[in-house]
Chains A and B, each alone.
Chain A
Amino acid sequence: MNDAQLVKQVLNGNNHAFRFLVSKYQRLVMHVVGRIIQQEDELEDICQEVFIKVFKMLKRFRGDSKLSTWIATIAYNTAITHYRKQKRRGELSYSEQPNLILAEKDPGLNQKSIEKEEAKKYLMQLIESLPVNYRTVITLFHLEEFSYKEIEEITGMPEGTIKSYLSRARKLLKGKIEKVARLEQTNIFVDYV
């Protein structure tokens, strides 16, 4: 079933079609929302809110873009609204500049020998500690494989900014992981080819 047929079925009140739509796109919504919100206790509620919005607004979907892009846009807008509310309430410390100090202090890194999986885990912690815009574009570009144009459509950020975020994030993380490898003097990447 293609997206147009799926939308038509959902609009006709077919519950199985809606269930299928949720199953198909819940991973995408979870990634977008999770990377922005970073609070597991709120993740489920916000993902539900996203799909309820999708259900309500589906009749406005004209097929100008892919359904995944349209759903990702709703997920992004919903999550970023929650994020800003949290920020206003002072529940989050917010910085536009990358701050990787917390991750650097991770005691797990003091081990002499860090396995490949641990190094990857450390990198993923670093990704989570990046500012929200960096995390979002990394998720959309690398994890969900959206194009620059689609990310621009989803987030409203100009293409140049998206490219800049991706490149800066990459450079930051690379520098960080290489620095850790040097500092720890471990064979952290010995097995890694």
Chain B
Amino acid sequence: MYNEDRNFDTDQLLKEAFTSEPEFKLSENFTDLLVEKVEKRFAWAQYLREFLIYLSVLFGIMVVSAVLAFVWYNAKVDNWLSFLASNASLVIGINLLVVFVLFADRVLLRYFMYRASSE
């Protein structure tokens, strides 16, 4: 029969159970995998940020050049617009090519080189 006087301490047992490590575990290389993942993301974000800075600088140079052309060389907006309208595909093509080359150079190639060196 159950004996009330039996020597046991459920409070102590509960305390031990509450403070015991649960059975689930993370893999041994959890930190390595995580740091590698974060490094890749950090590298990608960093390269992308640099690409956007380059793009902004290029755009800034173009704007300054246009302003100078209007101020010093009396450039006409109508002439520019007609040139752009008649050569639209060429202008868009060159711009896209420049942006792609810049993106490939500053982001894609650097990222793939980084990945290749880290693997």
Contacts and interface: CB of A to CB of B under 8 A. Distances in A.
Give the size range of A's interface with the partner: 35 or more
B38 A192 contact: no
B31 A189 contact: no
Interface string A69-83: 000000000000000
Interface stretch (B2-10, B60-68, B71-79, B91-99): B2-10
B12 to A, nearest CB: 7
Contacts of A22: 30-31, 34-35
Contacts of A92: none
Contact of A177 (B7, B13, B20, B21): B13
A34 B24 contact: yes
A47 B31 CA distance: 10
Which interface class (under 10, 10 to 19, 20 to 34, 35 or more) fits B?
20 to 34
B11 interface: yes
B39 to A, nearest CB: 6
Nearest to A139: B22
Contacts of B27: 44
B30 A192 contact: no
Contacts of A190: 6-8
B119 interface: no
Contact of B26 (A44, A174, A177): A44
Interface of B: 1-2, 6-27, 30-31, 33-35, 37-39, 41-42
Interface of A: 13, 15, 18-19, 22-23, 26, 30-31, 34-35, 38, 40, 43-44, 47-48, 51-52, 55, 116, 119-120, 123-124, 127-128, 138-139, 142-143, 170, 173-174, 177-178, 181-182, 185, 187-190, 192-193
27 contacts: A19-B31, A35-B22, A38-B24, A44-B26, A48-B30, A48-B33, A48-B37, A51-B34, A52-B41, A116-B13, A123-B14, A123-B17, A124-B20, A127-B18, A142-B15, A143-B18, A173-B17, A174-B11, A182-B2, A188-B8, A189-B13, A190-B6, A190-B7, A190-B8, A192-B7, A192-B9, A193-B7
